[in-house]
Structures are given as C-alpha cells and as structure tokens.
Structure 1
Amino acid sequence: MDAMPDEMSRGPERVPEGMDGAPDAALARLDGAARHLRTPCGAGEMAWRVWGGGGGIPLVLLHGGSGSWRHWARNVAALARGRMVVCPDLPGLGDSAMPPPAETPAPVAAVVRAGLDRVLGAGTPYHLCGFSFGALLSGHIAAEAGPALRSVTLVGAGALGLPRQITPLVKVRSETGEARIAAHRHNLASLMFADPARIDPLALAIQEANSQAARFRSRGFASSTSLKDAIARSRAPVALLYGERDAIAWPEIPSRFAALHAVQPEAWTGVIPGAGHWVAYEAAAGFNAMLADMLDRRFGG
C-alpha cells in the first residue's frame, strides 16, 4: 500500500539552496519545498517529508531525540543534489503521533520501518543515516532490514554500553521571553554544540519548535547496550561518526569506535574536528561532504 499524501501540504519538487534570512521564513521555505506524506503510527499518523530526486539511491535521515526533521535543516539541500532525501518526524516527535507503548526502541523502529516501506516502496534500495536517538532506531531498523538497505550511518550514537558524561540541562517549558531563549541557549551549549558562538538564531528557532512538539521521551535508552546489540545483526555496511567534542562521547570516542568494531569489525569510523553532538548542524559543510563522499565512494552511490 502506498503512503498517504497530505494533499494540503504537498510542495513542489525543488530544494532551497540556503537557509539565510529570518529563521522561521527559511524553515518555511524548506518545508514548502518538500512533498509531505503520512503513514500509520499508533492511533494516528507519522509525518514524512521528501526532497529531491535524481538517479542516486535515496537517503533516509532520522533526527535526534526531542527533535524533528528540522535537525537536518542545514543538510537537506546539499544531500538532495542528485538523490531523494527522506526525513520523517519520528513517532511522538514533531508532527507525528505517539507510537504504541514501548519498553524498548524496537517497536518504535518497527513503526518507522513499516512507514519507510510505504514511502519508498518495499524493496527499493536506500541508505539510512540516524542522529543520536535516530541512530539508535537506525540500528534496530538495520537489524531487521533486507538487502534493500545499502548502508547505515550512525551519528552521535549512544546505547553502545559505555558511560556518558552528565550534561546539565535546564527546564524550558515554564519559561517565557528572554528567559526561555536563554534556557535554549544553555541547553544547546551544554549538549549540542562544541562552540557556543555558533548557536545562531536558526538553531534557537529549531530548538524552540522541536521542544514545543516533543512528547516521546527517549533519553532512558541512551545508557543501554541496545544499539550495540541491534547493529551487530546488520547485514549492511555500517559507519559511525562523531563531532570531535560530542558531549555524550568526549573524551572516550575511541572506546565507542572499539565497541562498534567488536560487533561490526569492518565498520568505517570518522571524526569531524571542532564540532559537538549536533555535528550535522554545527559543522554542516564538513558533515555534508563526508556523508556524500561515503555514500558515493564507499557505499556505491
């Protein structure tokens, strides 16, 4: 069965090249350029956005915890040159409904995997890239995927069975005005960015939009071995990327690479200098180039 199009929000097949200008307007342009689809999710629907086309193998991007498709705002245009880029809002986040009750990530990943079959068509080849909580779900999808999955790239991944540093976050929901912006800036500096000077108005706008819509809580999964156990069963090539100063991995990134290599000895690993956990935003140009090169040269397009 095909995915269910949201005809009221379907956009033209084009990808804006920049995210300059007022943040809300830039995000609206990017959103308006997407084709919007819906698939079943719990008692409601899961929201999908699709950009681009061309002859390359489609790339599926799964955002992080308490996030939405906006986590990829600085990546879509570059990555959609010559290929389709697919970004869902994960269950219980963004515009997507809550998933059925789940004690582990596996049932949530199953909802995403079923939706992906409807969006792309079962058996269509694709690459998968997941950030943070999206990396955890990517591992569970890879564990069950057939040959259609050509590669899986994990970005800023936890749940490898290793301890992580405490990242002190402040509550935002009760704050308003300048205090709310200050709370967002603190949390971005603590968890997401290596250099607080790079927290720009667009990052703050994304954080605000994501926070307002976040209902599903995924942080409890991060300290488990869930990703390591799942990705061990992947038959597709695996890559693991971190920003050099990722708050959940630094200073033990080599230990995380070793944990992955214990179950996927041929996995490719990489570090992007000077970036934090949200490496795809903070070091967008380097991230886009690294991922595109991997897809083209290492993973066959």
Structure 2
Amino acid sequence: MSDLISLPASTLNEGRAAVARLDGLATHHRYRLASTGGYVMWRVFGDSNARPLVLVHGGHGNWMHWVRNIEPLTALRAVWVPDLPGYGDSDALPDGARFEDLMTATLDSLNALVGASTEIDLTAFSFGGVVAATLACRRPVGQLALVGSAGHGGKRRLQRELLNWKKIDVEDERRALFDANLKSFMLHDPATADSLALTVYEQACLKTRFRSKDVSLMDNLAALLKQANVDTLLLWGTHDVTADEPQRFSDRLHTDGVRHAFGMVENAGHWAQYEAADEVNRRLSGFFAKA
C-alpha cells in the first residue's frame, strides 16, 4: 500500500447515484431455482414485449458491466440482464458447484422467464462469452455478440499481476487496490477509471462468489461457436490484456468454417463496452439491427 493513495467512500458518490438511477428503470425478477432453492436476479429494461436481448456479464462482475450500454440497446430490444448465480444480487451456488451448475441455473431461470422456445439474442463480456456461447448451444438464439470474450485459448498480455484486495480490511485502502486493478486490467486509459467505473468494479468484486478463472483460461470458445452455428460478432479492445492476438483466433474460426464478423475497438482495454461505450454501442446496434 505504500505507493497507493487511500480512496474514501465519497469517491464513489457520483457512480453510486448513476447506478441507482439506472437500477430504478429496471423491472426486477428474482427467480427461485427448484433445484437449490436459491434465487437468480434478472433485470429487464425497455419494452418487455419486444424481442429479448440478454446481456451476460464477466467474471468478478454483475449486471453493471453493461451500465453504459443498457439504455442505448433498449431502442432495439427488451434488454434482459442477469446477475449470474454466485454474482451480484443472485444467491451463491452450493459448495463445490462447477461451471455446469452455473449453466443449469442460468438456463433454467432464463427459460422460465422468457419461455424455453422463445428465440433471443445474446451479448456477453469476458467470462460471460463462454456462458453465452454455451447458452447458444442449448436454446434458440438468433444472434450472438461477444466483447473481450474468454475461452479463446490464446496468450494474454498482462502488464502486472492483480493486487490481492481480499487481505485488506481497511475499506479506503482496499478501494485503492480496486482502483489500481481497474486501471491495469480492465481499462487502457487511466482517465476513464472514473467514479462510475470504480463503483461498478468494487461492488462487483465484493459480491463475486464463483471462481471463473479456470473456465476463462480454457480453449473451448471456438468449438462452442461452431456448435452453436449462429450469426456472431466478436469484438476486442486493441489494448485488451486478456487477448494478445485476437485476430489469430478469428483466423482460426474462419479456417474451421465458423461464420462470424470480427472487429477491434480502438484505444480500448478489456472492458471495451465501458471505455469505448459509444463505439461499442454503435457496433452492437448495427449488428442487431440486421435481424
């Protein structure tokens, strides 16, 4: 902590207000799982009768990973955003739960709320890309857009290891570690690590109870996309530390006959849909408008 400046709770005031405003626009569905008795939280924005677009957050995340994208996307779809089981306002999975347990709970709650035969569209970030691609293999999905997806099996380019905030009991000091990790892992330009970004990152990390890293580092996304066989858009920030050469992954997909569009988001890090929200919103809107 010697080279970090403690950040008081007041640092988050503006961000907390923005999150509260957006959350106030949502219809909340707290779905009880018959298998475990636990609850999965879903938020719905926009016209609930419109075609569903499901936004899936990343690891150490929750619905707020899409805080700068939800409202623009409601112009096209009813936007459904879960807190995956073990994240955010959803209950933890039972001890020893694995990725398949998370998928079962997510799929059960989604199908119960929108209908198992209802075709949806999907957008996902990071670890959520593996979740969304798996969903696309198991239920009707029209279009799939992935931002900074995990599961590509390629090299990462981390500049430094994440700081372990779990061992820090002093809140202001712990927040300084969140700020440092946000700037080194999630965002490219430190100036974009504003009050809202830090609010989202801190709250998401504190409420994460499922370990996603092992799944994120797997090399299974290509096989899932081939099996799903849906219209797909893949986006990465040009400075995404989780993917050294995403173009190679796209080339691999083309070789395997996986139909998809590929793009890089200039001057953005891993959390591209936050750091370059206008550009990502434009690309997502253009992609989904084709349906």
In structure 1, stretches of 5+ residues that fail to align are 1-20
* In structure 2, distance between residues paired with 1:238 and 1:66: 24
Per-residue CA deviations over 1:279-299 (Å, capped at 9, x if unaligned) read 0100011111100100002xx
Pairing partner for 2:148 from 149, 156, 161: 156
Match of 1:128?
A: 122
> What is the 5 A alignment of 1:90-129?
90-100=84-94, 101-103=96-98, 105-129=99-123
Corresponding position of 2:19: 27
- Mark the runs of 5 or more structure 2 residues left unpaired by the alignment: 1-12
The structure-2 alpha-carbon separation of the partners of 1:153 and 1:88, relative to structure 1 and needing over 3 Å to count, comes to: same
TM-score, length of structure 1 as denominator length = 0.85
CA distance in 1, matches of 2:269, 2:253: 20
> CA offsets per residue over residues 39-94 of structure 1, 9 Å max, x none?
23434110000000177522100001011101111111111124200000011000
Q: Is the 8 A contact 2:129 2:151 kept in 1?
A: no
Sequence identity, in percent? 35
Cα deviation code 1:149-172 (max 9, x no counterpart) = 101111111212223234510012
Contact 1:51 1:84 in 2 (8 A): yes
Q: How far, CA to CA, are the matches of 1:125 and 1:184 in structure 2? A: 38
Contact 1:131–1:154, Cα closer than 8 Å, also in 2: yes
- What is the aligned partner in structure 2 of residue 234 from structure 1? 228
**Preserved CA contact (<8 Å) 1:23 1:202:** yes
Cα-to-partner distance string for 1:208-247 (whole Å, 9 max, x where unaligned) = 1112211111011122123223222103212211111111
Distance, in Å, in 2 between the alignment partners of 1:97 and 1:140 is 21
Change (3 A) 1:264 1:151: farther
**Structure 1: 4+ residue segments shifted above 4 A:** none
The match for 1:288 is 281
- Answer whether contact 1:52 1:82 (CA < 8 A) is retained: no
What SS does the corresponding residue of 1:168 show, helix, strand or coil?
Answer: coil
How many residues align? The count is 274
Quote the residue 1:46 is aligned against: 40
Kindly indicate whether the alpha-carbon contact (under 8 Å) linking 2:229 and 2:258 is maintained by their aligned counterparts in 1. no
Query: Against the structure 1 CA distance between its residues 55 and 290, is the aligned structure 2 distance closer, same or farther, given a 3 Å change threshold?
Result: farther
Residues 76-118 of structure 1: CA deviation (Å, up to 9, x unaligned): 1111124200000011000111235444x33322321221111
Greater RCO between the two (CA within 8 Å, min separation 6)?
2
